Amino acid sequence: MLTWLVSTSLKLRVVVVALCVVLMVYGVRATQTAPLDVFPEFAPPKVEIQTEAPGLSTEEVESLVSMPLENALNGTPGLKTLRSKSVLGLSSVVLLFEEGPDLNHVRQFVQVRVAAEADRLPTV
DSSP string computed for 41-52? P-SPPEEEEEEE
- Contact yes or no for 62/86 (Cβ under 8 A): yes
CATH of domain 46-118: 3.30.70.1430
**pTM of the predicted protein model:** 0.64
Asked if pLDDT for residue 30 goes beyond 80, the answer is yes
Report the percent of the chain where pLDDT is more than 70.
Answer: 94
CA distance 74 to 52: 21
Mean pLDDT across 74-100: 90
